[in-house]
């Protein structure tokens, strides 16, 4: 088990990032928390033992560069790329700027910050741990969330490939793929139309599962067992049949958001 001294967490002002920050703070780990909302960052920093907060909007290149520079300077030995958001809608009926924003936060930011982490750790001989928060949807193409699934697939694939590259170096690259969480994510993704899923995973337990993964250095965790079963089932089916079933189940659930509003 590696002892972590200093961790940088993106998206630390809400949901999973915040729950993990609380847990790591209790373990005495120095925290560098990244958020785009100064008021929320200040509230979290007052509650936890935080070394630094970084105000950065990860939908912008300036925001991503700001965090990369902090990684280079502060050399945290654990980096958690957690910030991300979803948007349930019809692809071509949504302004392309929304997808650009999503690609930046969910894909370009973790991609560049992973690069910066590995470069810094290699130069400084640090045995760091990089965690990329993907999603179960990285393994299941989701209609009306097409770019979201695609960004998460990129992150998952990149993390697994990088883990193969760094194996044996003391550096670890982990991917965490949770199912629906009890966070504001779903309400945000549906522009306020949907509450948190009734069987959403409790956030404290999910943060503990992620912490356990960091401790055990398991390269890939799909959380929880229900979603492990789902992924297994989907991958057992011929792809076309699996996609048919996914489309059917999703249409029912999102109909109220996407179609009844028109």
Ligand X SMILES: NC(=O)c1ccc[n+]([C@@H]2O[C@H](COP(=O)([O-])OP(=O)(O)OC[C@H]3O[C@@H](n4cnc5c(N)ncnc54)[C@H](OP(=O)(O)O)[C@@H]3O)[C@@H](O)[C@H]2O)c1
Binding residues for ligand X, rule: CB under 6 A, are 11, 13-17, 35-37, 40, 57-59, 82-85, 105, 133, 135, 178, 180-181, 183-186, 188
Nearer to ligand X, 126 or 141 (CB): 141
Report, in Å, the least distance between residue 66 CB and ligand X. 11
Report, in Å, the least distance between residue 181 CB and ligand X. 4
Report, in Å, the least distance between residue 77 CB and ligand X. 21
Report, in Å, the least distance between residue 124 CB and ligand X. 26
Nearer to ligand X, 6 or 36 (CB): 36
- Which strand ranges, in their side-by-side order, compose the sheet holding 30-35? 50-55, 30-35, 6-10, 78-81, 129-133, 172-178, 220-223
Q: Which of 241, 138, 231, 110 is nearest to 118 (CA)?
A: 110
Rounded CA separation 103/113 (Å): 14
Nearer to ligand X, 52 or 126 (CB): 52
One-character DSSP codes across 37-76 = -HHHHHHHHHHTTEEEEEE--TTSHHHHHHHHHHHHHH--
Nearer to ligand X, 30 or 183 (CB): 183
Q: 10 Å Cβ neighbour count for 180?
A: 18
């Amino acid at each position: 088990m590696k002892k972590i001294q200093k961790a940088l967490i993106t998206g630390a002002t809400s949901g999973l990032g915040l729950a993990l920050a609380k847990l790591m703070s209790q373990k005495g780990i120095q925290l560098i928390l990244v958020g785009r909302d100064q008021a929320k960052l200040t509230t979290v920093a007052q509650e936890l033992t935080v070394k630094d907060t970084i105000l950065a909007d990860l939908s912008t290149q300036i925001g991503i560069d700001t965090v990369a520079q902090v990684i280079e300077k502060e050399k945290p030995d654990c980096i958690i790329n957690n910030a991300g958001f979803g948007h349930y809608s019809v692809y071509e009926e949504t302004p392309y700027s929304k997808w650009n924003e999503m690609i930046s936060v969910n894909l370009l930011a973790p991609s560049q910050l992973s690069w910066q982490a590995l470069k810094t750790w290699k130069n400084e001989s640090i045995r760091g741990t990089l965690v990329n928060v993907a999603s179960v949807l990285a393994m299941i193409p989701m209609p009306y969330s097409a770019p979201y699934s695609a960004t998460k697939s990129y992150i998952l694939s990149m993390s697994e490939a990088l883990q193969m590259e760094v194996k044996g170096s003391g550096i670890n690259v982990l991917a965490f793929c949770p199912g629906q969480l009890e966070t504001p994510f779903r309400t945000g993704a549906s522009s306020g139309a949907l509450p948190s899923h009734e069987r959403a995973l409790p956030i404290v337990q999910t943060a503990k599962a992620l912490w356990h993964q960091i401790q055990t250095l398991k390269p890939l965790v799909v959380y929880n067992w229900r979603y492990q079963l789902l992924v297994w089932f989907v991958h057992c089916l011929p792809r076309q049949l699996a996609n048919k079933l996914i489309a059917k189940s999703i249409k029912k659930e999102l109909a109220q958001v996407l179609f009844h509003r028109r």
